[in-house]
Structure formats: structure tokens, C-alpha cells
Amino acid sequence: MRAKTDKKSDATAFNAKITVKTADRENAVAPVVAVLLILAVLMTIISLYSAIYVPALKEQSEIEHLAGVEEAFLRFSSDIESAILTKSEGTVTRNVELGGGSVVLSPLKSGGIMEVKNETPTWTYKIYKDGYAAQENLIAQSLLVNFSYEAVGNFWMDNGYLWDYGIVSLKTPYSSATPIQYTTYEAAADDIKANGGIFRSMFDLDYLSNVVFEKDGEGKLTGNTYLNCSEIIITAVTFEKGASDYTSGSGHATLKMDSKMEYQTISTGDLVITMNPDLFPPVNTDNLPNSAGDVLEYNIGKELDNLRNQGFANIGTFTYDPDHVFRVHFNAPVKVTVRNLILTISV
């Protein structure tokens, strides 16, 4: 005979099975919920970081980047001044990071433009032989260049930097260029006039002499002697824009200066040195071109006065006219050696 089934026990067992299955489901869902909560917290943190901290961090990164550009310009300016002063040959480079602003979780960088230009006035003085303003008689000239950095899409301020007339200037979107080492351009111009800047050594003149024993018409020595100038050595400094004069992007660029000395020797009966009239505006204001012109004109005049004061018998007249032109006439052709220091600036 079949035993009777305990319905209550069967119900209890069934409920226990349901409870076990529910617990299994809950145990399986709990890690998923925990992961979702963690992801939600992380996304909240990342959102707060991106919204609040990233802009400030990118601005700080840009400030540091622009400070590096400024330092590179100042150091390169010192390199140029040193090359002019020592008349040294060689190559000097300074690395410049074009873009900045990369931070954790936001690697996007700004960009920049580096460019070398030769804007007006492109020259300061020219030296001619046996005549004036004839291109075929040009034996040396001093040209100028400038170079600049311009920020593109900066995360702080679109600041830029300019090197011109030996002065490094800061350019901002809200004001005109301001010299970094001086309070104003008037102060920079005054310093160039007082100390010369890069222009104090952009023209040098030296000479060699020999003693001549005077002879009479029959070729006999008279006992008298006099000095002749046997050679004049002129050192001129000029700038050139290199073949690579423009670069842009967000990577690294290089400011480069190649300095090289070139020589030529001629025999001439005249020397003419003419200054660029654009350096001397009608109103004598304290600006960089005028200061550069004053320094160069003074130095050239001083060197020529020193030559005249030697009393060489074969050197005739020295003249200077209001058009800022110096002329030296020789009684007989004189050997002139021109040393031309060429500073090629490229990026």
C-alpha cells in the first residue's frame, strides 16, 4: 500500500529551492551593480576633473610652455650678440616647442608658427669702391632680419615673441609688442644709444702701414720719410634669412644660426659708406631704428677719424654729408680687405 505524501514537507522543500535560486540570482547581480556604481563614481570624478581641473592644468602647462619659448628667444639673442662681438664662426641652435597644454586625460596641444623675415629697413649701411650707389661697386653691406613665434589655439593666451634690432619683445592679443628686458621701447632705444646693443660691433676698421723713404727726381734718398697706408681691413656684419624660414605645428622647432666669415680683397682709389636714410626719421624720436642708425654712424665716423688722424701720405680727403654718407679719397689706390661676417638665421 502506498504511503501518504506529507504535503507540508513538499511545500517547504519547494520554497527552499526557490529561495536558493533567488539568492543565487542576487549573488550574481550584486557584482554587476557594484561595478556600475564604481563606474558611475569614476565617470563623476572624470567629469569633475575635466570640467574643473583640466582647464586650469592646461593653462598652467601653456604658461610653462610659453616661458620655455621666451627663454629660448633670450638665449638665442645672447648667442647672436656673442657671435657679433667675437666675430666667431660656427653653428648655434636652440630648441623651441611650438605647442603646449598637454595634460593627463587631455593630450590635445596648441600650435605655433616660427618665421624669419627681412622687413624694412632691411639694411643699415653699404660700402662701395670707386664711386657711389653703383651696384657693381658694392663690396659689403649690413642687412637685418627678424624672427618671431606666434601661438595658435593657445589654452591660455595667444602670446607671441619677436626678435628685432637685438631686442626680444612679447606680443599679446590685447596690447602692442613690449620689450621683455625693458619697461618700454623708449628705454630699449636709450640703452642701445648708450651701450650700442648688437650694433656696437657691426662695423670695424683696421689698417696696416709702411714707412716710405723719400727719393728725389734722380731716385736718390732725400733723408725724409713718411707713412703710407698699405692696407685697410674692414669687418662688416650682415644677417641673412636661411632657406628654411617658416615652420608650424605642435611639435618641436629649432632656431638656428650659422655664422661664416667671407673675405675679398680689392684695390681702390675711393671708399664710400652710406647709411640707410630710413634709420633716421624726420622727427628724431627714440625708436630702435634711429638708435641703431646713431650707433652705427657714430662708430663708422670714429673709425674713419682714427684712420685720418694717422696722417698717411697716400690718403687724401675725408668728407661727410647730411645724407649720412662718408667718403674717403686716396691719393693712390690702396689695398682693401673686406671681412664679411654672415649670420644666417633659419628655423
Pair 187, 288: CB distance under 8 Å:
no
Question: Does any domain span residue 294?
Answer: yes
Question: Does any domain span residue 27?
Answer: no
Q: Is 240 helix (H, G, I), strand (E, B) or coil?
A: strand
What separation in angstroms does the CA of 197 have from each of 190, 193, 200, 202, 313?
10, 8, 6, 10, 36
Q: Residues 137-190: pLDDT tens digits?
A: 999 999 999 999 999 998 888 889 999 999 999 998 877 789 999 999 999 999
Conformation bin of residue 288: beta by default, left when phi > 0, alpha when psi is -120 to 50? alpha
Question: Does any domain span residue 15?
Answer: no
Number of domains in the chain: 1
Q: Residues 189-230: pLDDT tens digits?
A: 999 999 999 999 999 999 999 998 888 877 788 878 889 999
With a cut of 60, say whether residue 5 has pLDDT above it. no
Q: Is pTM, for the whole model, over 0.95?
A: no
Question: Does any domain span residue 258?
Answer: yes
**DSSP letters for 294-341:** HHHHHHHHHHHHHHHTT--TTEEEEEEETTTEEEEEEEEEEEEEEEEE
Query: Nine-digit cell at 312?
Result: 698717411
Question: Does any domain span residue 2?
Answer: no
Q: How far apart are CA 233 and CA 268, in angstroms?
A: 13
Tell me which H or E stretch contains 15: helix 7-48
Q: How far apart are CA 294 and CA 280, in angstroms?
A: 8
Give the model's pLDDT for residue 55. Answer: 82
Question: Does any domain span residue 238?
Answer: yes
Pair 231, 334: CB distance under 8 Å:
yes
Report the b/e string of 59-93 with b at 16+ CB within 10 A: bebbbebbeebbebbbebbebbeebbeeeeeeebe
Pair 163, 77: CB distance under 8 Å:
yes
Question: Does any domain span residue 153?
Answer: yes
**Helix axis angle, 288-308 relative to 185-195, nearest 10°?**
10
Give the model's pLDDT for residue 158. Answer: 87
- Domain residue limits at 270: 52-346
Write the DSSP symbol of residue 131: S
Question: Given CA atoms 131, 134, 140, 145 in this order, what sign does their dihedral have?
Answer: positive
Question: Does any domain span residue 3?
Answer: no
With a cut of 80, say whether residue 85 has pLDDT above it. yes
